[in-house]
Amino acid sequence: MAAGKGLRAGQPLPKQFALWRGKPVLRHSVEALSAAGVAPVVVVIPEGAEAIAAEVLAGITGVECVTGGVTRQDSVRCGLEALASRAPARVLIHDAARPILPQAVIERLCAALDSHPGAIPVLPVVDSLCHAEDDGQMGPPARREALRRVQTPQAFRFPAILAAHRDWPGETNAGDDAQVAQAAGLSIDLVDGDEALHKLTYSSDFGTSAPLIRTGSGFDVHRLEDGEELWLCGVKIEHHQGLAGHSDADVAIHALVDALLGAIGAGDIGQHFPPSDAQWRGASSDRFLAHAARLVGAAGYGIGNVDVTIICEAPKIGPHREAMRARLAAIMGAPIEAVSVKATTTERLGFAGRGEGIAAQAIATVVRA
């Protein structure tokens, strides 16, 4: 959905076509949908916007544009009607003004459609709420526990939502497509949304103070002990000793987590996963790395590249290097070309040289999405 005027954003053109973090808002959304395997992507645009839409979407395959209507419901119906002859089983309806679209949200929505005709992503309300009286005074409180913040994309079985929009009275405005579906008697499942799905609305949302590139570093050390497993970069290595620690003590991943968190100014691994918390005892460190990667995305960045150096006399890292790169890339959702794993020794000097432990250092570069 990209047919609105977007006037509140204070941009020189409708906000869906305005630049945000280096490229038009609409292109962010369409690229995210395409990357998740959504096809075709129908973009509903304002009348007369064909030329700018073509420029914004140049080079993206599987995309077509249709002109919207007077209201949002009119525009959604135009998009659905453009798909009617192909009758897909499912459809996602997404606001272009939500440019960061995590694939995990799409997966949760599609899974919910296996048992429900519709599903929407929601977030809990954390602020206190009250009703506002007509005179501007505070009214009675509202129960935030029963309320949710609704996001897009909203997912539906296609025949059901098309019929709901065809039956919707044209003179009535609905807040979103879930309300149209609910009015038609469809049950709507709620799935977890994501803070990254923030909707660009005001001029402040288009601020460019965040740097294009940020870099963080990390360093960690763990003791080698008998009777422990040895995990490095998410790969289990056969060795006569393993690393000791509160979690699985994957020293390389711990250094990399700190590097990613440092790049976005989000503290360190101990703040997010305190060693005093029993739930992390023996935990697999891939959970820590996946969490850090999600925070990078939520901050509006993508992983540019990471470089990990493992410091030890033994075991030999070379035979495991490619498996380590592949595992780190999979955990972070990054291309393997963006992951470097190296090893060095201390020429038998210090604790690492004496075989008492293993150290790792990491550097991570993140790029504004």
Domains of the chain as residue ranges with CATH? 7-132+145-206 (3.90.550.10), 213-368 (3.30.1330.50)
The answer to whether 122 and 151 are in contact (CB under 8 A) is yes
pLDDT at 7: 52
63 contact partners, CB below 8 Å, separation of at least 6: 30, 34, 40, 41, 42, 43, 57
What phi and psi, each to the nearest 5 degrees, are found at residue 6? 60, 40
Residue linked to tokens 């790969």: 235
Predicted local distance difference test score (pLDDT) of residue 209: 55
Task: Give the residue ranges of DSSP H helices in 280-357.
Answer: 286-298, 321-332, 350-353
Q: In this predicted structure, what is the pLDDT of residue 10?
A: 46
Instruction: Please state, in angstroms and rounded to a whole number, the distance separating the CA atoms of residues 158 and 85.
Output: 12
Question: Nearest 5 degrees, angle CA 91-CA 80-CA 99?
Answer: 60
Cα separation, 300 vs 335, whole angstroms: 18
Extract the tokens encoding 76.
């959604």
CB 230 within 8 A of CB 355: no
Output the pTM of the full model: 0.58
Q: Which helix (H) or strand (E) holds 81?
A: helix 72-84
> Which tokens in the block code for residue 281?
């005892």
- Compute the residue count for the chain: 369
Q: What is the pLDDT along the chain (369 residues), one digit of tens a residue?
A: 999 875 544 454 678 998 887 788 999 999 999 999 999 999 999 999 999 999 999 999 999 999 999 888 999 999 999 999 998 999 999 999 999 999 999 999 999 999 999 999 999 998 888 888 888 899 888 888 889 999 999 999 999 999 999 998 867 788 899 999 999 999 999 999 999 898 988 776 776 556 789 999 999 999 999 999 999 999 999 999 999 988 899 999 999 999 999 999 999 998 888 888 888 888 899 999 999 999 998 888 899 999 999 999 999 999 999 999 999 999 999 999 999 999 999 999 999 999 999 999 999 999 987
Tokens describing residue 54: 């073509």
SS3 48: coil
First-residue to last-residue Cα distance in the chain: 21
Amino acid at 356: E
pLDDT at 170: 67
Residue-wise over 104-127: b if at least 16 C-beta within 10 A, else e? bbbebbbebbeebbbbbbbeeeee
- In 3D space, the residue among 208, 25, 40, 190 whose CA is nearest the CA of residue 123 turns out to be 190
Any idea what DSSP says for residue 253? H
